[in-house]
Amino acid sequence: MAAPVNAGTISPVVDYLRISLIDRCNFRCQYCIPDEAELEYLRQQEVLTNAELLQLLQDVFIPTGFTRFRLTGGEPLLRPGVVDLVRQIAALPQTQDLSMTTNGFLLAGMADELYRAGLRRINISLDSLEPETFDRIIGNRGRTRWQQVWEGIQAAYAVGFNPLKLNVVVIPGVNDHEVLDLAALSIDREWHVRFIEFMPIGNAHLFGQQGWVNSEDLRQQIRQRWGLTGGQVRGNGPADVFQIPGAKGTLGFISQMSECFCDRCNRMRLSADGWLRPCLLNETGQLDLKTALRSGVPLSELRMQVQELLNAKPTINFKMRESGTTGAYSRTMSQIGG
């Protein structure tokens, strides 16, 4: 790791890689792919193959210190052969942690297979307990999809995923009235509800209309109803974790808008088409690993380039912390591989 960028700053160990398996999704969530967004999806040949991804993990990322991996999208369960890929990554002896983020729509029929393949932790998006509100958020204009997602959550819980986390992006005037109902899911079940501040990533128009809700305001609502104590849950992310007294699960708050955590970021991101990026919002030093790999660049050279980017990350983290992250960004979350 690089030395701290200034006195008193302790740089986190960067050993966590978020891997986007696909840029497509079967939902069109307001905060991820807003209505005004016109996307050009990757062609199949532009996406890293399973063999290429595994080679990068084994010969580039693991040798440079990565041991924790999260599979994302788009919607990762749309990736052909995803169960086999999970099995192969889980079988790598250096893999210390393997998790997935999904919208849950296909999960009911895949939860058991994924668990048997070696996946143990899962995050599922559940932005509303009201089917109509849920459909509004995901951009669904046909038959409601809420029930199928709910069945996916139940299936994941039944086969033993632990921790099972439910991600809630709180949008003012849309689902913020459900905060207490969603928090209550953590009381009787070992479910871990995570409230995420709405961010202006590829959705400047909607963000300008709706704004965002401060995590501390959400915590205050919950304190007034039940009280809050400190909590703990296994994971690699930036959530501040609390617990309703006596609850089986926990409540997490991801507060990038109000409580910037860039200086303690421990992750890098690999897009479905092979771009390695050090930051969700800053592409300084990004590497096109797919083109390099397919052009025959020696793996030793790729390891050196990744190490150089790792060495630069503490400075990138610090600069992002100092500059703030409240601007609007043109790429959507699905294109970044959120």
- The residues spanned by each domain of the chain are 16-336
Per-residue model confidence as pLDDT tens digits over 120-137: 999 999 999 999 999 999
pLDDT of residue 335: 59
Residue with tokens 């969603």, as numbered in its chain: 182
Q: What is the mean pLDDT of residues 46-59?
A: 98
pLDDT of residue 2: 38
pLDDT of residue 210: 63
Residue 51 parent element (H or E): helix 50-56
Per-residue model confidence as pLDDT tens digits over 245-281: 999 999 999 987 777 777 778 899 999 999 999 987 7
Those residues with Cβ within 8 angstroms of residue 288's Cβ, 6 or more apart along the chain or in another chain: 274, 275
pLDDT of residue 30: 80
Q: How many CB atoms lie within 10 A of CB 163?
A: 18
pLDDT of residue 5: 41
Per-residue model confidence as pLDDT tens digits over 215-251: 999 999 999 999 999 999 988 778 899 999 999 999 9
Model's pTM, two decimal places? 0.91
| Average model confidence (pLDDT) across the chain | 88
Task: Using DSSP, state whether 235 is helix, strand or coil.
Answer: coil
Residues 19 and 72: beta-carbon distance below 8 Å: yes
Instruction: Quote the tokens at residue 12.
Output: 């986190």
Per DSSP, which regions of the chain are E strands? 16-20, 68-72, 97-102, 121-125, 164-170, 191-197, 229-230, 240-243, 250-254, 267-270, 275-277, 287-288
300: exposed, middle or buried (Cβ count in 10 Å: 0-12, 13-18, 19+)? exposed
Those residues with Cβ within 8 angstroms of residue 191's Cβ, 6 or more apart along the chain or in another chain: 157, 164, 165, 166, 185, 248, 249
pLDDT of residue 260: 74
Residue 83 DSSP one-character state: H
Per-residue model confidence as pLDDT tens digits over 142-185: 889 999 999 999 999 999 999 999 999 999 999 999 999 999 99
**Euclidean distance between CA atoms 197 and 212, whole angstroms:** 6
pLDDT of residue 258: 73
User: Using 50, 70 and 90 to split pLDDT, how confident is the model at 338?
Assistant: low
Domain 16-336 bears CATH identifier 3.40.50.12140? no
pLDDT above 90 covers a percentage of the chain that reads 69
Residues 197 and 215: beta-carbon distance below 8 Å: yes
Per-residue model confidence as pLDDT tens digits over 175-212: 999 999 999 999 999 999 999 988 766 555 555 556 67
Residues 14 and 64: beta-carbon distance below 8 Å: no
208: exposed, middle or buried (Cβ count in 10 Å: 0-12, 13-18, 19+)? exposed
**Euclidean distance between CA atoms 211 and 195, whole angstroms:** 15
Residues β-bridged to residue 68 = 16, 97
Residue 65 DSSP one-character state: T
pLDDT of 101 over the 50 cut: yes
**Euclidean distance between CA atoms 101 and 20, whole angstroms:** 10
